[in-house]
């Protein structure tokens, strides 16, 4: 009897340990990865802002980026006036743990064709957490060392993860020749799931010199 | 037979010291999990995908 009771006690301890392990993992994934990624992103943003403001700085230009380089700041007024996330080259796991990533095979920011980027919907700083709140006409601002690019949201779609045609130079139109500079953002959908992708398309409306800045009314959030 | 009981008995000193050591031990385990174990298993989780394609 004593042996059986002892074994049951051990099993209980094992189950409690497993439960605590799972709870800790959930806490780490949902809270801690955000804490770490946000601190890192704020640091990178502040470095870039200093470099962008410094005329002697040779901060990496969009045309010359290598995988893992941070080269722009993405601002989306709909997500809040303070929303600013670093944009990196590449969509590898390591890159997306730190911010928004540019699909290397798509066009670069401002170019005619499709400039596509991916960001986490949940965890790791969740830059695109509110991607489903974007409305047509909302501004996505991309700031590089030399230029501000103002994109306006035109539409969105919810697709299967295999639908790579959203990244085509003219989204979803294989073989079409691009005349317009567009932006495509992808994130997972629904939240906490990898079943589908939430995709937002936008069009380049205007560019502004970095020294000149962006007119305040451009960044106003409508409705 | 008790795993945690065994640890408790192995910790030296009076109760207050044992309790302090137990807390430190727990903190150490959490640190190892947060810095090495969880980052290693996170890629295996299904909810971290955001890209289309491969």
pLDDT band at B1 (very low <50, low <70, confident <90, very high): low
How far apart are alpha carbons A7 and A185 in whole angstroms? 54
CATH code of A127's domain: 2.40.260.10
The answer to whether A12 faces chain B, any CB pair under 8 Å, is: no
Among residues A9, A5, A182, A179, the alpha carbon closest in space to that of A103 is found at A182
Cβ(A68)–Cβ(A14) under 8 Å? no
CB pairs under 8 A between A and B: 79
Among residues A75, A98, A197, A201, the one annotated as catalytic is A197
Q: What is the pLDDT along chain A (223 residues), one digit of tens a residue?
A: 788 888 998 999 999 999 999 999 999 999 999 999 999 999 999 999 999 999 898 888 898 899 999 999 999 999 999 999 999 999 999 999 999 999 999 999 999 999 999 999 999 999 999 999 999 999 999 999 999 999 999 999 999 999 999 999 999 999 999 999 999 999 999 998 889 999 999 999 999 999 999 999 999 898 7
Indicate whether B46 pLDDT > 80.
no
- For the question of residue A102 being annotated catalytic, the response is no
Q: What is the dihedral of CA A205, A209, A211, A212, to 10 degrees?
A: -50
Residue A130 covered by a domain: yes
- For the question of residue A152 being annotated catalytic, the response is no
Q: Domains in chain A: how many in total?
A: 1
Domain that holds residue A60: 31-219
Cβ(A143)–Cβ(A128) under 8 Å? no
Q: Which residue, chain included where needed, has tokens 């801690």?
A: A32
How far apart are alpha carbons B48 and B44 in whole angstroms? 9
Whole-complex ipTM: 0.89
Q: Is the preceding omega at residue A190 within 30 degrees of 0, hence cis? A: yes
Q: Copy the structure tokens of residue A27.
A: 């806490």
| Minimum Cα–Cα distance from A12: chain B residue | B2
Tens digit of each residue's pLDDT (9 = 90 or more) over B23-38: 999 999 999 999 999 9
Q: Looking at residue A30, what is its pLDDT? A: 93
Q: Which chain B residues touch A121 with a CB distance below 8 Å?
A: 50
DSSP states of chain A: -HHHHHHHHHHHHHHHHHHHHHHHHHHIIIIIHHHHHHHHHHHHHHHHHHHHH-TT--PPPGGG--TT-EEEEEE-GGG-TT--EEEEE---HHHHTTSEEE-TTSPPTTSSEEEEEE--SSSTT-TTTTGGG--TT-EEEEE-SSEEEEEEEEEEEEE-TT-GGGGSSSTT-TTPPP-SEEEEEEEEESTT--SEEEEEEEEEEEEEETTT---GGGGPPP-
The answer to whether A155 faces chain B, any CB pair under 8 Å, is: no
Indicate whether B54 pLDDT > 70.
no
How far apart are alpha carbons A109 and A9 in whole angstroms? 61
Residue A104 covered by a domain: yes
Q: Is the CB of A13 less than 8 angstroms away from the CB of B4?
A: yes
Residue A25 covered by a domain: no
Tens digit of each residue's pLDDT (9 = 90 or more) over A168-204: 999 999 999 999 999 999 999 999 888 999 999 999 9
Delimit the domains of chain B by residue range: 3-41
DSSP states of A174-193: TTPPP-SEEEEEEEEESTT-
How far apart are alpha carbons A97 and A119 in whole angstroms? 9
Q: Copy the structure tokens of residue A99.
A: 């911010």
The answer to whether B45 faces chain A, any CB pair under 8 Å, is: yes
The answer to whether B30 faces chain A, any CB pair under 8 Å, is: yes
Q: Which residue, chain included where needed, has tokens 């947060």?
A: B34
Among residues A75, A120, A189, A201, the one annotated as catalytic is A120
Q: Are strands A181-189 and A113-118 parallel, antiparallel or unpaired?
A: parallel
């Amino acid at each position: 009897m004593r042996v059986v009771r002892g074994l049951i006690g051990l099993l209980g301890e094992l189950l409690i340990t497993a439960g605590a392990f799972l709870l800790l993992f959930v806490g780490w994934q949902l809270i801690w990865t955000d804490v770490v990624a946000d601190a890192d992103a704020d640091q990178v943003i502040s470095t870039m802002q200093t470099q962008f403001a410094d005329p002697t700085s040779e901060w990496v230009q969009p045309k010359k980026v290598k995988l893992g380089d941070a080269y722009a700041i993405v601002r989306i007024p709909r997500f809040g006036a303070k929303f600013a996330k670093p944009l990196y080259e590449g969509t590898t796991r390591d890159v997306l743990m730190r911010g928004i990533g540019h699909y290397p095979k798509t066009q670069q920011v401002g170019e005619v064709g499709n400039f596509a980027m991916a960001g986490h919907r949940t965890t790791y700083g969740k830059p695109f957490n509110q991607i489903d709140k974007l409305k047509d006409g909302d501004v996505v601002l991309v700031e590089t060392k030399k230029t501000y690019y103002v994109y306006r949201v035109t539409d969105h779609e919810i697709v299967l993860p295999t639908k790579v045609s959203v990244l085509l130079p003219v989204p979803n139109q294989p073989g079409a020749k691009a005349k317009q500079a567009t932006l495509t953002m992808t994130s997972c959908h629904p939240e906490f799931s990898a079943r589908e992708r939430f995709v937002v398309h936008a069009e380049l409306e205007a560019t502004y010199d970095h020294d000149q800045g962006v007119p305040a009314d451009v960044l106003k959030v409508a409705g | 037979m008790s795993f945690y009981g065994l640890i408790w008995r192995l910790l030296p000193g009076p109760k207050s010291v044992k309790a302090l050591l137990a807390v430190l031990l727990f903190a150490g385990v959490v640190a190892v999990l947060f810095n090495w174990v969880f980052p290693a298993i996170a890629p295996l989780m299904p909810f971290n995908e955001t890209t289309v394609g491969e």
